[in-house]
C-alpha cells in the first residue's frame, strides 16, 4: 500500500476520492486487467435476436400505446472533443509547406480520407457558410482563398481557436447536416430524434447531454438559439439538462514503475476515467427508461424513419420483457410457486432474457432455485441494437465467461480481447455483428425503486494505456466502459438492427458520405 502525504490526502479530499480507492487503482496498474474470456460470438439466433417486419410493427405499436406509462429520457454522451475528427488536418497544417509540388500532389489525391478530398469538397460541408462568415470577419474571402490555393489558411480558419475552433470543440457543437434553409449542429439532430420517440403525454421531450465544463457556456448558447425553433415545429416542450463527469471518477496516473505520477508542483496527476465514468451520471437520472446513443451517430431527416422504427421497437421490447420479468419477480418474492410456474420462469429466463442457467441448477432445492432466479431477474435491463459487421473496428456482442464461471452476453471491445490466443482470435473471426451504441435501459426494479447502477459494474474490465506528459511517460487507467464493464451485470438483450441505423462521424470527411449529404447531392 502506497503511503500518501497530507498534501496528497487533502488533494484527494478535494476531488471526493478515498485513498483506499487510489491504492486499489495502483494495485490494478501493478497486476493489470485480465483479458475477457470469450466463449462464442453472439450471432443471429444465438444471442442476437432477429425480428420480422411484422414483429417490429407489433413492438412499435406496443411502444406507442404504453410509453405514456413511463418517464422516458434520451441520454447522449457529448463531452468528448472532436480533435480526432480533424487529426489529418492538424498534421497537414504542421507539414504543408505550400510548394508547387505539394499543391499538385494535394490536388491529385483522390483518396476519400485525404486532405485533398476534403478541400475539393469543402463547399459541401454544413459548416461552409460559417467558414465564409469567419473569413469575412478577418477581411478575407473564402472563394479567393480557394482560387489562390491558400489551402493551409483555409484549414487553419476551420480548426484553429482563432477561427471556427472546430479542432477543440465537441462534436455536438459542429454543424453536421445541410438543409434547404438551415445548417444543423449535431446536437440539433438529437433533439429532432427525441421529439419523435421521447415525447410524453404532456408533450415534453427530455434530453440529457454529458458535457465538459469548458464548453458549458457554448452548449447553453446553442440550445437557447435552436430549442424554440423545434418546440414550435413539433408543438412540444423540451426539458434539457447537462451534467459533467464527476471529479471523483478521475483516476490516478502512475509512472512506468507504478509509482504515482507527480506534476511539477509535486501534486498527484489525475486523468479523466473515460466514458465508463458516465455510469455515475446515468445513475443520477430519475427517469424509468433511458435511450442511450452516441453524439455522432445521426442522419438527416430523409433517412430517419428506420432509426425511429427500431428505436421504438427496442423500446417496446424492453417494456414487454420488463412487464413479464416484474410479474415473475412478484411470484418469486412471495416464495411459494407451483412446479409449472417455476419451470415457466426458467424457460423465460433462458429463452427471452438470454440468461445462462448453470447445470448445477437442476440439483438446487426449491428455495435455492427461487433465490437464484430472483437474483438473475432483479437487475437493470438493457436492449442493445446490433448491426451486421461490415469491417468496422471496435466492440461487438459475445458470450463471455467471468472469473466465477458465469456465462453471459456482453459488449466487448477489441482492447479487452486476447488476440494472441489462437482460440480467442478464432472466436473473434467468427463474429458477425458490431456495437453501434444503440441502447434502451430499464432503470427501476419490480417494486418501483431505482437501481443503484454502481452495484452492477465489473471492476475487472478496465483498461491501461501508456501516455506522456511534459516529456515523461506515464500509465493511465480507464474505468470499465459505459456499455462494457460498467453494465456487465445487467440483463442484456441483443437485437439486430439495419446498417442504416449506424452512421458515425469519426473523421470530418465522413460528413461527405451520401448518408450525411442532402439527397440531391
Question: Which phi and psi (to 5°) does residue 124 adopt?
Answer: -85, -10
Residue 133: is its pLDDT beyond 90?
A: yes
Q: In 3D, which of 425, 502, 419, 410 has the Cα closest to residue 458? A: 410
Q: Where does residue 452 fall: left (phi above 0), alpha (psi -120 to 50 degrees), or beta otherwise?
A: beta
Q: Average pLDDT of the chain?
A: 94
Could you list the beta-strand ranges (E) of 300-389.
381-388
Q: In 3D, which of 267, 261, 248 has the Cα closest to residue 469? A: 261
CA distances 196 to 63, 234, 296, 432, 473, Å, are: 12, 9, 18, 30, 48
DSSP string, 236-287: -EEEEEEEE--GGG-EE-B-TTSSBPB-TTSPBPEE---GGGGHHHHHT---
CA distances 489 to 27, 83, 507, Å, are: 23, 33, 33
Pairing of strands 381-388, 433-434: antiparallel
| Structure confidence at residue 468 (pLDDT) | 86
Handedness of CA 48, 49, 51, 56 (dihedral sign): negative
pTM: 0.94
Could you tell me what percent of the chain has a pLDDT over 90?
A: 87
Please give the Cα distance from 18 to 426 (Å, whole number): 42
In which band, very low, low, confident or very high, does the pLDDT at 392 lie, cut at 50, 70 and 90? low
Question: Which phi and psi (to 5°) does residue 162 adopt?
Answer: -80, -10
| Structure confidence at residue 393 (pLDDT) | 61
Please give the Cα distance from 423 to 402 (Å, whole number): 17
Residues 6+ apart with CB under 8 A from 496: 44, 48, 49, 50, 51, 385, 386, 387, 388, 433
Q: For residue 519, how far is the Cα from the chain centroid? A: 28
All 3 cell numbers of residue 303?
433517412
In which band, very low, low, confident or very high, does the pLDDT at 395 lie, cut at 50, 70 and 90? confident
pLDDT, tens digit (0-9, with 9 covering 90-100), for 212-247:
999 999 999 999 999 999 999 999 999 999 999 999
pLDDT, tens digit (0-9, with 9 covering 90-100), for 449-485:
999 999 999 988 988 988 888 889 999 999 999 999 9
Please give the Cα distance from 84 to 294 (Å, whole number): 15
503 within 8 A of 497, measured Cβ to Cβ = no
- SS3 of residue 374 by DSSP: helix
CA distances 317 to 352, 379, 521, Å, are: 10, 16, 37
Amino acid at each position: 500500500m502506497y503511503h500518501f502525504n497530507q498534501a496528497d490526502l487533502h488533494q484527494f479530499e478535494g476531488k471526493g476520492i478515498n485513498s483506499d480507492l487510489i491504492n486499489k487503482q495502483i494495485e490494478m496498474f501493478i497486476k493489470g486487467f485480465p483479458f475477457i474470456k470469450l466463449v462464442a460470438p453472439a450471432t443471429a439466433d444465438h444471442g442476437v435476436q432477429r425480428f420480422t417486419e411484422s414483429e417490429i410493427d407489433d413492438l412499435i405499436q406496443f411502444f406507442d400505446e404504453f410509453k405514456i406509462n413511463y418517464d422516458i429520457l434520451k441520454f447522449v454522451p457529448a463531452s468528448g472533443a472532436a480533435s480526432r475528427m480533424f487529426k489529418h488536418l492538424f498534421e497537414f497544417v504542421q507539414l504543408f509547406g505550400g510548394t508547387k509540388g505539394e499543391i499538385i500532389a494535394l490536388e491529385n489525391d483522390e483518396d476519400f480520407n485525404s486532405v485533398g478530398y476534403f478541400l475539393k469538397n469543402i463547399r459541401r460541408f454544413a459548416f461552409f457558410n460559417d467558414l465564409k462568415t469567419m473569413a469575412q470577419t478577418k477581411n478575407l474571402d473564402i472563394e479567393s482563398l480557394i482560387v489562390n490555393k491558400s489551402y493551409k489558411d483555409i484549414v487553419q480558419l476551420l480548426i484553429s481557436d482563432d477561427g471556427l475552433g472546430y479542432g477543440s470543440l465537441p462534436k455536438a457543437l459542429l454543424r453536421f447536416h445541410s438543409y434547404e434553409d438551415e445548417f444543423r449542429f449535431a446536437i440539433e439532430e438529437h433533439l429532432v430524434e427525441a421529439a419523435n420517440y421521447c415525447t410524453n403525454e404532456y408533450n415534453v421531450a427530455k434530453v440529457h447531454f454529458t458535457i465538459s465544463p469548458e464548453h458549458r457556456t457554448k452548449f447553453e448558447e446553442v440550445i437557447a438559439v435552436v430549442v424554440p425553433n423545434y418546440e414550435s415545429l413539433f408543438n412540444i416542450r423540451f426539458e434539457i439538462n447537462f451534467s459533467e463527469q464527476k471529479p471523483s471518477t478521475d483516476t490516478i496516473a502512475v509512472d512506468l514503475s507504478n509509482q504515482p505520477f507527480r506534476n511539477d508542483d509535486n501534486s498527484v496527476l489525475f486523468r479523466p476515467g473515460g466514458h465508463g465514468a458516465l455510469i455515475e451520471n446515468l445513475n443520477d437520472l430519475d427517469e424509468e427508461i433511458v435511450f442511450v446513443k452516441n453524439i455522432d451517430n445521426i442522419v438527416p431527416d430523409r433517412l430517419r424513419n428506420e432509426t425511429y422504427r427500431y428505436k421504438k421497437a427496442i423500446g417496446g421490447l424492453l417494456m414487454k420483457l420488463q412487464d413479464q420479468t416484474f410479474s415473475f419477480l412478484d411470484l418469486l418474492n412471495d416464495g411459494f410457486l407451483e412446479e409449472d410456474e417455476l419451470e415457466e420462469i426458467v424457460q423465460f429466463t433462458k429463452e427471452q432474457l438470454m440468461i445462462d442457467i448453470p447445470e448445477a441448477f437442476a440439483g438446487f432445492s426449491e428455495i435455492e432455485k427461487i433465490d437464484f432466479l430472483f437474483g438473475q431477474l432483479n437487475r437493470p435491463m438493457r436492449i442493445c441494437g446490433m448491426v451486421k459487421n461490415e469491417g468496422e473496428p471496435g466492440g461487438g456482442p459475445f458470450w463471455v465467461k467471468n472469473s466465477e464461471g458465469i456465462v453471459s452476453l456482453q459488449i466487448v471491445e477489441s482492447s479487452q480481447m486476447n488476440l494472441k490466443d489462437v482460440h480467442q482470435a478464432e472466436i473473434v473471426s467468427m463474429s458477425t455483428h458490431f456495437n453501434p451504441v444503440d441502447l434502451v435501459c430499464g432503470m427501476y426494479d419490480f417494486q418501483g425503486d431505482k437501481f443503484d447502477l454502481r452495484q452492477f459494474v465489473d471492476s475487472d474490465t478496465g483498461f491501461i494505456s501508456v501516455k506522456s506528459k511534459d516529456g515523461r511517460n506515464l500509465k493511465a487507467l480507464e474505468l470499465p466502459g459505459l456499455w462494457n464493464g460498467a453494465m456487465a451485470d445487467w440483463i442484456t438483450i441483443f437485437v439486430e438492427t439495419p446498417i442504416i441505423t449506424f452512421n458515425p462521424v469519426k473523421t470530418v470527411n465522413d460528413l461527405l458520405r451520401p448518408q450525411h449529404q442532402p439527397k440531391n447531392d
